[in-house]
Amino acid sequence: MENPIDRLTLLFEHFPGIGPRQARRFVQYLLSQNASVRSELAESVKALGSHTALCKHCYRYFLKTSAKSERCSICSNPSRDAGLLFVIEKDADIQNVERGGFKGLYFVLGGTIPLAQEHPEKYVRLRELLKRVESEGKAHTLREIILGLSATTEGDHTRMLIQERLLALSQEHSFQISALGRGLSTGSELEYADPETISQALGNRH
Amino acid sequence: MENPIDRLTLLFEHFPGIGPRQARRFVQYLLSQNASVRSELAESVKALGSHTALCKHCYRYFLKTSAKSERCSICSNPSRDAGLLFVIEKDADIQNVERGGFKGLYFVLGGTIPLAQEHPEKYVRLRELLKRVESEGKAHTLREIILGLSATTEGDHTRMLIQERLLALSQEHSFQISALGRGLSTGSELEYADPETISQALGNRH
Amino acid sequence: MENPIDRLTLLFEHFPGIGPRQARRFVQYLLSQNASVRSELAESVKALGSHTALCKHCYRYFLKTSAKSERCSICSNPSRDAGLLFVIEKDADIQNVERGGFKGLYFVLGGTIPLAQEHPEKYVRLRELLKRVESEGKAHTLREIILGLSATTEGDHTRMLIQERLLALSQEHSFQISALGRGLSTGSELEYADPETISQALGNRH
Amino acid sequence: MENPIDRLTLLFEHFPGIGPRQARRFVQYLLSQNASVRSELAESVKALGSHTALCKHCYRYFLKTSAKSERCSICSNPSRDAGLLFVIEKDADIQNVERGGFKGLYFVLGGTIPLAQEHPEKYVRLRELLKRVESEGKAHTLREIILGLSATTEGDHTRMLIQERLLALSQEHSFQISALGRGLSTGSELEYADPETISQALGNRH
């Protein structure tokens, strides 16, 4: 029998942002809870696999309402604007974009593409994106793809590479490719903004 | 069927130091892992209950090596010095004290006693401590109890209350009651030390 | 004779971002320096008044090259684009804007206007701004005023109030009034951006 | 004529804990104040030299009450306990020690001695300390020297070196040499204390 305290500590250490000390505190916390809490946690963790699925359309994880459901609640919602496709890096981005008032559809890229790598398909769902865009292009449902990548060097690199790959499709099926506006973010002051942000805020003045 | 994503997020929010955002990231992390990781986590969480037990002697959680084991590895180690009893607040304190080179035994109090509360037994294992000390006192095995409480107001209050309750036993069975030394902690400078710490460092000069 | 240590500590406490402890450290630092350092500091502080002046054109402080100079190096530089006027809150903003590549002229407002205040002229150089804009409007030299205020509630309030006051002049003398672009600032990720910033980045997509 | 803005910025950059950005803000702050503030600051900085002096007895800076005063207010206070000599690193330490209730006298060492350096006299006032201790030893006024150095590697090194140098004098004139107590500082918890501190708190238990 392996030591479940050590095994669990190790598993928690792999959680995002968790170091050895906090992993140990998690185990102590679970030890101090009664058996029903631990068993609810164990059941919920297991249920993740059986009750959730990767949406075949946008590639985010969602809760299956029936064994057959293949699309998440957003992709299967007919009142969303199917003409707007927002390409994001990860599931967690959706919540903020929804709060920002976006009403279109999503595609989860699954990350960014490292600089100077030959096979971008290895890092992100590029093939899946091209396939979806091609099919929607042919169906004439797509008006605009919004590339919602991080405002970082790797995010910019990913954005430019995807723009390149989408170029021919965008001309053939006449949809737009856009990127999120850059500039001062809410709450920021000029004195503390970096020159690049100021330069972009100047370029995007309106 | 309840939503396992929301349920799990909620369970993680109860983990020490975890807010809603990090709880969601934990769920996303688990979703992105394959089923075997989730199932190992679920099994380990469940195993905590069946493979661990509260040590009947020091009240810390430990890994049972057989169904009958009632004492943890420290309490059942004959080479530890049974004459020294280190009273600590919680399991997590043991690791640091062990690294500090302590060779005696422990008693986990289970917390501190809030100020101005009438029934300290409600907050900490006071009755269990008194019972253990009395039995060891009668057996003439105890030389010293070290009260290792936090250097906070509530820790000091708890220490004084326990000293009071142990006084008669310490006289009857002639053991010492001591508290951890106060003073400058490793790495600190006089300029940034608080006056109380300096006052105690002066009182404990040697 | 007043105590120069206490007096100096108090003066340093009024410096931006300096508390009593750091003020005392400054005094200790000066005490430990030799007399020539203190005297150079004293001379430099005094020289500020005699060798600098408030630029009569943009209202920033500048170094006088002769007793008669009334304009700073930027305002008196004929190669700057006099058609662009960048309205900023304070002198310290200029450095970042210059690094961002701006080639026009500036006007230092001197702060922002608190919400719900009746007399904005009390808080910022509104009268001076209107006077300058009117004169440049009549001279047909002005193409655009860029309002470079903080992306905060008070900054937005100030921007809107100034836009209102400039409206008639902008129509009469046909110049534009613009604001800095809002959106993701360099280095930011969607997951951690606030919904308002995402909403503005969406609105300013290009 | 040199640029007083740049010169002053540079001088402020040498202040403890001040970087280029804050140095510039200090200059902007001074520019925005009226001439009387700047002139009071300049006067106070100059006055430091003429109105303060290094105490010939404890080597801290103090305010001269007359041109002849050679000792600070503590050294010249007959009600302080001259039998206790507290050796500290720097002037700024005194304030905290006074708040901690110390009633004896001080000696400001002027720093700590770097590891593996051959001439400690270059770094701290070792010769001056030995001279003072010898004279007080002969006068039979000294009962104890308290070495109040930082609880750091360099502080410990300095303490041990000074103890060594004072050893013969302490035996000849029978005074004690003590060090500040080490242990838990006020507010700290066992779980977060480092093992060395716990080890010392255990060693200093009482």
Tens of pLDDT, residue by residue over C109-163, are 999 999 988 899 999 999 999 999 999 999 999 999 999 999 999 999 999 999 9
Arithmetic mean of pLDDT, B120-128: 94
Q: Verify whether the Cβ–Cβ distance C4 to D44 is below 8 Å.
A: yes
- In the B/D pair of chains, how many CB contacts fall below 8 A? 189
**Domain count of chain C?**
2
Q: Chains C and D: how many Cβ contacts under 8 Å?
A: 122
In this structure, is residue D70 part of a structural domain?
no
DSSP string, C185-197: PTT--GGGS-HHH
More confident residue, D92 or A136: A136
Q: Which of B157-161, C83-87, C121-125, D63-67 has the lowest average pLDDT? A: D63-67
Please determine, for residue C2, whether its predicted confidence score (pLDDT) is greater than 80: no
C67 lies in some domain: no
Residues A41 and A88 in one domain: no
* Structural domain includes residue C72: no
Asked if B110 and B125 touch (Cβ cutoff 8 Å), the reply is yes
Q: What are the CB-based long-range contacts (under 8 Å, 24+) for A60-64? A: A60/A91, A60/A94, A60/A106, A60/A108, A61/A91, A61/B5, A61/B28, A61/B31, A61/B32, A63/B3, A63/B4, A63/B5
Model confidence pLDDT, tens digit, residues A162-175 = 999 999 999 999 99
Q: What are phi and psi of B115, to 5 degrees?
A: -65, 150
The verdict on D36 and D88 lying in the same domain is no
Q: Cβ of A197 and C186 within 8 Å?
A: yes
CA A138 to mean position of chain CA atoms: 25
Task: Identify the DSSP state of C120.
Answer: G
Q: Are residues A120 and A161 in the same domain?
A: yes
- Same structural domain, B152 and B191: yes
Closest listed residue to residue A72, CA positions, set C199, A177, C191, A80 = A80
Indicate whether D89 and D151 sit together in one domain: yes
The residues that bridge with A88 in the sheet, in sequence order, are A108, A148
* Sign (positive or negative) of CA dihedral A14, A15, A17, A23: negative
Is the pLDDT confidence value at B2 over 80? no
What length does chain C have?
A: 206
- Residues A197, A136 within the same domain: yes
Tens digits of residue pLDDT in D82-133 = 999 999 999 889 988 999 899 999 999 999 999 988 899 999 999 999 999 9
Tell whether the model's pLDDT for residue B1 goes beyond 60: no
Residues of chain D contacting B202 with CB distance shorter than 8 Å: 97, 100-102, 146, 180-181
Residue B40's identity, in one-letter code, is E
The domain of B36 spans 4-50
Answer whether residue A170 is part of any domain. Answer: yes
Using CB atoms, list chains with 3+ pairs below 8 Å to chain A.
B, C
Same domain, A179 and A127: yes
| pLDDT of D1 strictly over 60 | no
Q: Are residues B195 and B101 in the same domain?
A: yes
B160 in a structural domain: yes
Q: What is the distance between the alpha carbons of residues D181 and B183, in angstroms, rounded to a whole number?
A: 5
Whether residues A33 and A127 fall in one domain: no
Contact assessment for residue B73 and residue B93, using Cβ atoms and an 8 Å cutoff: no
Q: What is the pLDDT of residue A1?
A: 44
Q: Does one domain contain both B142 and B44?
A: no
pLDDT at D52: 84
Mean pLDDT for A114-140 is 93
Answer whether residue B110 is part of any domain. yes
Q: Which of the residues C13, C34, C44, C62 would you substitute to probe the D interface, choosing the one with the greatest number of D C-beta atoms within 10 Å?
A: C44
- The answer on D43 and D96 residing in a single domain is no
Overall average pLDDT of the D143-159 stretch: 95
Q: In 3-state terms, what secondary structure has residue C143?
A: coil
Q: What is the ipTM of this complex?
A: 0.81
CA A109, CA A91: separation in Å to the nearest integer? Answer: 9
Q: Indicate whether C204 pLDDT > 50.
A: yes
Q: A23-32, long-range: CB within 8 Å, 24+ apart, which pairs?
A: A24/B92, A24/B95, A25/B16, A25/B17, A25/B92, A26/B15, A26/B16, A27/B48, A28/B61, A28/B90, A28/B91, A28/B92, A29/B15, A29/B16, A30/B45, A30/B48, A31/A5, A31/B48, A31/B52, A31/B61, A31/B91, A32/B61
Position C180 pLDDT exceeds 50:
yes
Residue B59 lies in a domain: no
* pLDDT tens-digit map of B46-102: 988 788 889 999 999 988 877 777 899 999 999 999 999 999 999 889 988 999 899
Of C38, C43, C92, nearest to D28 by CB-CB distance is C92
Say which CATH number the domain at B14 has: 1.10.8.420
Q: How high does pLDDT run on average in chain A?
A: 91
Q: Would you put residue D147 in left (φ > 0), alpha (ψ -120 to 50) or beta?
A: beta
Beta strand ranges found along chain B (DSSP E): 52-54, 61-63, 81-88, 104-108, 144-148, 176-179
What does the pLDDT average to over B3-27? 91
Q: What is the CATH number of the domain that holds C160?
A: 3.40.1360.10
**More confident call, B32 vs D159:** D159
| Cα–Cα distance, A9 to B7 (Å, whole number) | 22
CB atoms within 10 A of CB B171: 9
Q: Do B201 and D182 touch (CB under 8 A)?
A: yes
As a whole number, mean pLDDT of residues A85-99 equals 92
Q: Which residue has the higher pLDDT, B165 or B66?
A: B165
Residue B34 has pLDDT above 50, yes or no: yes
Q: Which residues of C touch D92 (CB under 8 A)?
A: 24-25, 28
CA–CA separation, D37 vs D32, rounded Å? 10
Tell me the average pLDDT across A34-56: 89
SS3 C175: coil
Kindly state the average pLDDT of the residues B153-181: 95
| Sign of the C-alpha dihedral computed for residues C114, C117, C123 and C127 taken in this order | positive
| B→A interface, C-beta within 8 Å | 1, 3-5, 7-8, 11, 15-17, 22, 24-32, 35, 37-49, 51-52, 61, 63, 90-92, 95
Q: Are residues D104 and D45 in the same domain?
A: no
Assigned domain for A152 exists: yes
